Amino acid sequence: MRPKFEQYADYQPETFEFSDKKAVEEIISRYPAYGKKSAVMPLLDLAQRQVAKHGPYGPYKDGGGWIPRAAMDKIAEIIEQPKIKVYEVATFYSMYKLAPVGKFLIQLCTTTPCWLCGSSGLLKVCEEFCGVHPGETSEDGLFTLEEVECLGACVNAPMAQINDDYYEDLTPDIFKDVLQALKDGKEVPIGSQTGRKGSMAQNGPTSMADKAKELGVI
């Protein structure tokens, strides 16, 4: 799913101000004065997180983070660049959402390793439990589903990223429980859902077991 850049959508706020000015200053301070424009990506991220926390603008009461056009314009002003330079970056990277999303953005990996390990079953859970197909947001505004390519956690496939966190070693039943817990506002452990440590073999380490013990991994 790539939400459209709906520049004139009526949920777009007229103006945007960063609420955490110190965070903006800290980001700008990471770069030399002549390279201020390099701050564009962390500032876009900051804007997206601000909307998630203090927003929302748009149709979902408790929606997730996205970047209104006014925020991009504000960033252009801060980094002293033409607005188009910010639009170019924001529209290129899929991690920036340009239209409202649900409170929980599910990025379900369906690339070959995850698919071989059962991602189709997880997709079905999303469709049945959340009532969404890829690219859609549930009626209650809680879940947005995206089908994505490999997220680099294939060894613990199948997996999904929900907001900032990875949920791995999923089965349809486990995934349903994770979604239910999120819906109920409960804490859900992140990472492997079967208790596997890191990316070691399911039955424990196959080499360097002594070292793993020494480091307290097992």
- What does the binding site for ligand FES look like in residue numbers (CB under 6 A)? 109, 111, 113-114, 150-154, 157, 159
Closer CB to ligand FES, residue 51 or residue 153? 153
Least Å from the CB of residue 173 to ligand FES: 19
Least Å from the CB of residue 175 to ligand FES: 14
Q: What are the angstrom distances between the C-alpha of 82 and each of 51, 103, 163?
A: 23, 31, 30
Contact status, residue 6 vs residue 56, Cβ threshold 8 Å? no
Least Å from the CB of residue 59 to ligand FES: 30
Contact status, residue 53 vs residue 4, Cβ threshold 8 Å? no
Closer CB to ligand FES, residue 111 or residue 171? 111
Closer CB to ligand FES, residue 91 or residue 111? 111
> CA 124 to CA 107: how far, in whole Å?
14
For residue 151, give both structure tokens.
């997220």
Which amino acid does the sequence have at 29?
Answer: S
Closer CB to ligand FES, residue 13 or residue 118? 118
Closer CB to ligand FES, residue 5 or residue 166? 166
Least Å from the CB of residue 101 to ligand FES: 21
Q: Could you tell me how far CA 145 lies from the centroid of its own chain?
A: 11
Least Å from the CB of residue 207 to ligand FES: 23
For residue 79, give both structure tokens.
């980094």
Contact status, residue 199 vs residue 166, Cβ threshold 8 Å? no
Q: Which residues contact 12 (CB under 8 A, 6 or more apart)?
A: 6, 57, 68, 69, 70
Least Å from the CB of residue 113 to ligand FES: 4
Closer CB to ligand FES, residue 90 or residue 153? 153
> CA 98 to CA 6: how far, in whole Å?
8
Report the 10 Å Cβ neighbour count for 171. Answer: 16
Measured at the CA of 33, the angle between CA 90 and CA 83, to 5 degrees, comes to 30
